[in-house]
Structure 1
């Protein structure tokens, strides 16, 4: 079963393995299969589910809502996000304006079939909307009872400081950031994590297996497996390309004996690795089949000692991306519509 951690400086506990439905529900996986994976997650002790309005243009939220229908709402933690273009993608169907936030939260709640979400997240930073407007809207959403807490995704250290100060001033809680993080992608370690620790903000990390590269299924000098994420533009193929080079794939294969010695799969080792960071509250995992969930949850509660962490660093030496400046390139400088 899955262990639980506090999310930021709050009393909210979340399952440290959290189910995310970015590239599965509403697009890659048929709805019946998606529902089965959600039920497998619940059976494994996962109570926390992360989605976004932009995933399959709302369909992912609808599928999740259908999958959790009949469950005790108070026993679940449901997260969603707002920022990217949705609906007909008109000029106000994107960003973090008051108008878009108010319309988006109502649409998300309807699709999810719930009166509130536990965490409402700014999916990126919006350079075209005053941050004061954004946080006033978030504060009103919280006071209306439509969200309990506020989070963000892929914000820089400076943006986190500004957002945290505004949230405190408005009497709401900014408790989380959702960045990409894995043994291969460590850009948050330099600035974002130290700032977050100081502010009482946790990381909910996506792609802990580096889009599947850290499972070891992509081999140097060989074509990518048919039907894998690397072949499907809807499933994050653009994100995985940065890792699909022989140098990185050769280094990743050095992790196999480390995992074998611990009785773990390479995927479990990669999830356990991100959970060793005490600023990480949860690792987001997706699944297209129920058995993948059963496999992933075995990483919960695993402790990697210092010698193992050092061995992983040695194996990946030279292929790790840890440039903190990359965190400043994640949010678009202009809205996408």
Structure 2
């Protein structure tokens, strides 16, 4: 396993972060793993040297956090780096169970701590931008949580770069804890973050941990085989991420071609491409398979030449921004 420093946090994390959205209750999403299988993935991840885990309170309505916490309780907690997120409404009859108000953050953060079985969360991230709460309120609340010892660091997830810049400026102006990481949507088939966000995170030395590094499976097999039902998504969900539009099919074909030439899997080529990006610290790899997790770790040893990188990137054209609210 390779390790890197996560932005300005000083924390050393594995170059792969295990995404835990797949842990929980199949009633929430039919592709979700039940507890025993989720724990098996965590066990194998630790064996492979992964020390970085990302979840969210909304994943299986808290079950992902509980399963991750239980799985990590078998290990030395000091050796693990745990990130979680909050924003989306947790209970239909309680509008204050979502958003980034002081009330929502304080009550849902405590619920996350309880489910994880932890006194302190290493990295806490607003899952999305809250248009109904001033960013100053959100940041003051998160700053208080750091000072209480409930959080060590705070980060952000998918938002417009002007919003992220406003948040950092607000923290600097008021002397509050800063967002030190960005969890954004970035992969070979979705590169809109290269225009503004990634140059800005590099300038600010913000750690980057992209979600959906394999484009929800569109980078794991030939596009002819893609089927929304087989991916466990509705067509509506798939349509929100136009991965095969505007050159996407040709990118997919070139990934397949390179994988065949190098006797690798397509997913390994796609991850190797991300690992070469200086702006990226640790992609969040979510999986339901130990084998696929092992493949991801092996991708750290894959080298791509400058010409191969250019070949993979050349067909890409702008697509509609997705992931932001």
Instruction: Name the TM-score, length of structure 1 as normaliser.
Output: 0.87
Q: 2:299 and 2:77 mapped to 1: Cα distance?
A: 26
Residues 246 and 173 (structure 1), Cα distance of their counterparts in 2 relative to 1, 3 Å cut: closer
CA contact (8 A) 1:25 1:59 kept: yes
Give 2:262's aligned residue.
262
Deviation at 1:23, TM superposition (A): 3.6
Pick aligned residue for 1:213 from 210, 214, 218? 218
Deviation at 1:34, TM superposition (A): 0.9
CA contact (8 A) 1:185 1:320 kept: no
Give 1:50's aligned residue.
54
Q: 1:245 and 1:116 mapped to 2: Cα distance?
A: 42
Q: With a CA cutoff of 8 Å and minimum separation of 6, indicate the structure with the bigger relative contact order.
A: 1
CA displacement 1:115-139 (0-9 Å, x = unmatched): 1111000100111001100000000
Residues 211 and 89 (structure 1), Cα distance of their counterparts in 2 relative to 1, 3 Å cut: farther
Q: 1:320 and 1:73 mapped to 2: Cα distance?
A: 44
Give 2:29's aligned residue.
none
Question: Alignment RMSD, CA only?
Answer: 2.4
Is it true that 1:292 corresponds to 2:286 in the alignment?
no
Report the more deviating stretch, 289-298 or 164-173: 164-173
Q: 1:24 and 1:198 mapped to 2: Cα distance?
A: 35
Give 2:209's aligned residue.
204
Give 1:334's aligned residue.
none
CA contact (8 A) 1:160 1:196 kept: no
CA contact (8 A) 2:61 2:90 kept: yes
Residues 202 and 322 (structure 1), Cα distance of their counterparts in 2 relative to 1, 3 Å cut: farther
Deviation at 1:233, TM superposition (A): 4.3
Give 1:335's aligned residue.
none
Q: 2:164 and 2:88 mapped to 1: Cα distance?
A: 19
Q: Which runs of 5+ in 2 are unaligned?
A: 27-31
Pick aligned residue for 2:181 from 176, 192, 201? 176
Q: 1:172 and 1:224 mapped to 2: Cα distance?
A: 43
Deviation at 1:287, TM superposition (A): 1.7
Residues 94 and 300 (structure 1), Cα distance of their counterparts in 2 relative to 1, 3 Å cut: same
Deviation at 1:245, TM superposition (A): 6.8
Residues 301 and 167 (structure 1), Cα distance of their counterparts in 2 relative to 1, 3 Å cut: farther
Q: 1:6 and 1:133 mapped to 2: Cα distance?
A: 29
Deviation at 1:55, TM superposition (A): 0.8
Deviation at 1:260, TM superposition (A): 3.2
CA displacement 1:101-120 (0-9 Å, x = unmatched): 10111000110111111100
Report the more deviating stretch, 54-63 or 15-24: 15-24
CA displacement 1:131-183 (0-9 Å, x = unmatched): 10000000001001111000000122111212112333334242111111100
May I ask how many residue pairs the two structures share in their alignment? 319
Is it true that 1:190 corresponds to 2:195 in the alignment?
yes
Is it true that 1:147 corresponds to 2:151 in the alignment?
yes
Q: 2:161 and 2:245 mapped to 1: Cα distance?
A: 30
CA contact (8 A) 1:96 1:134 kept: yes
CA contact (8 A) 2:246 2:317 kept: no
Deviation at 1:219, TM superposition (A): 3.6
- Matched residue of 2:96: which SS? coil
Deviation at 1:98, TM superposition (A): 0.5
Deviation at 1:264, TM superposition (A): 2.7
Report the more deviating stretch, 248-257 or 89-98: 248-257
Give 1:330's aligned residue.
324
Deviation at 1:320, TM superposition (A): 4.2
5 Å-filtered alignment, 1:1-337, equals: 2-27=1-26, 28-168=32-172, 169-216=174-221, 218-220=222-224, 224=227, 228-229=230-231, 231-233=232-234, 237-238=237-238, 242-243=242-243, 248-249=248-249, 251-314=251-314, 317=315, 319-321=316-318, 326=321, 330-331=324-325
- Matched residue of 1:197: which SS? helix
CA contact (8 A) 1:29 1:288 kept: yes
CA displacement 1:186-222 (0-9 Å, x = unmatched): 0110011111111121211011111111111x542x5
